[in-house]
Chain A
């Protein structure tokens, strides 16, 4: 699973990255987490509001930071 955190590096983006990592660890998923800070690429995903989370090239969250628990539900659904 490839997880990408989209955002220019603001506080919300860092929080999202940290929570995504926590969720991945808690689920014991085999996933890599990448950061995408380049604006044309971010917009290329159809994302207008950062931070956003992309799982296997599909945007699953945009413009908000879900809780770690919320991310766990989200990721476990994707992994199955």
Chain B
């Protein structure tokens, strides 16, 4: 039984069902806002300022808030993105020159539905369509770096300015990174079989022939599959976040990675690269560290390094990129993220 089968048959009924679900979501969000205050402080009579209460409150309130945000954001983003596809993106990028091509590729990297497990066929397909390597790399950098979940959650938790800053900074790193790698002659370090592979027959457009029901169905499934995939990361993130929130001494992080420490951003990025989590798992940590007084630039850099550079994706990319290019890829993206961190620490104050 699929969701599409369960949807009411009439168009009006469908809108009604979607509206009802939206209202239920909003109600849950609203209830979460005051329920825990009521329960912990008023009903149980716990002291508002006690460390243990703060930890419990953070855990309950923020985990539910974050899960609700995730459900809403994943659903909306999946339905919207189902109108785009990697094949359409490729068609738009075919024959573009470097420069303008890098900008377009980075932008499309953000909005095209793309799983890093498709990185290799996409890479080969782009190259076969005559997309320059540097432009292709801009796409591959932007796609995980400007993560739609991260954008949505930054917007929800820190406001639109921080979210906008994150998107623009990510785009800048992707555009500059791809362009620099292209200039360095990335061509030489691509495995030769990539240039010999020919795309067979008609390229299949994965977004073709989908009805609205199917898109809704995809949205619902994506919510389920992402939550199933990330819940351990999410729980760990919220757990650590809650512990930091309640127990880490106020000055600990600020002293070691705060404004006073010139290497703060560098430390955050070096710690973040090997950490394999996703935007959802990192967000509770970012939230808790922000409350502890870490500057936003450092936190954005930390988050970017966690989501943009991950070992599994690098192992896949190794199939098409030689070690030299892979190292340059990590180096350029890492350096870009560090630059973003320092820049925003200076600008956002």
**Footprint of B on A, CB under 8 Å?**
7-8, 10-13, 39-40, 42-50, 52, 59, 61-65, 67, 69-70
Closest 7 CB pairs of A and B: A63-B206, A10-B117, A48-B125, A44-B200, A62-B206, A46-B203, A59-B204
State the Cβ distance, B333 to closest chain A Cβ, in Å. 22
Which of chain B's residues 81-134 have a Cβ closer than 8 Å to chain A?
A: 85-87, 90, 113-115, 117-118, 120-122, 124-125, 128
**Footprint of A on B, CB under 8 Å?**
1-2, 5, 85-87, 90, 113-115, 117-118, 120-122, 124-125, 128, 193, 197-207, 214, 217-218, 221, 229, 316, 319-320
Contacts of B193 in A (CB 8 A): 40
A64→B128 contact, CB < 8 A: no
Contacts known (A43-B125, A67-B2); A49 close to B118, Cβ less than 8 A: yes
Contacts of A65 in B (CB 8 A): 221
A46→B86 contact, CB < 8 A: no
Interchain Cβ contacts under 8 Å between A and B, 21 examples:
A7-B117, A39-B197, A40-B124, A43-B121, A43-B125, A43-B197, A44-B198, A44-B199, A44-B200, A46-B200, A48-B125, A49-B85, A49-B87, A49-B118, A49-B122, A63-B86, A63-B206, A69-B2, A70-B2, A70-B214, A70-B217
Contacts of A43 in B (CB 8 A): 121, 124-125, 128, 197, 199-200
Partner of B203, one of A11, A12, A48, A69: A48
B117→A46 contact, CB < 8 A: no
B218→A64 contact, CB < 8 A: yes
Given A48-B206, A52-B204, A70-B2, output 8 extra A-B contacts at Cβ < 8 Å: A39-B120, A39-B121, A42-B121, A43-B121, A43-B128, A46-B200, A49-B118, A69-B5
Q: Report how far A39 CA is from B206 CA in the complex, Å.
A: 18
A59 (CB) vs chain B CBs: closest residue = B204
Contacts of A63 in B (CB 8 A): 85-86, 113, 118, 206-207
Contacts known (A43-B121, A43-B199); A48 close to B115, Cβ less than 8 A: no
Contacts of A61 in B (CB 8 A): 206
B204→A46 contact, CB < 8 A: yes
Q: Report how far A8 CA is from B2 CA in the complex, Å.
A: 27
A8→B316 contact, CB < 8 A: yes
State the Cβ distance, A61 to closest chain B Cβ, in Å. 8
Partner of A49, one of B121, B202, B218, B221: B121
Contacts of A8 in B (CB 8 A): 117, 120, 316
Contacts of B202 in A (CB 8 A): 46
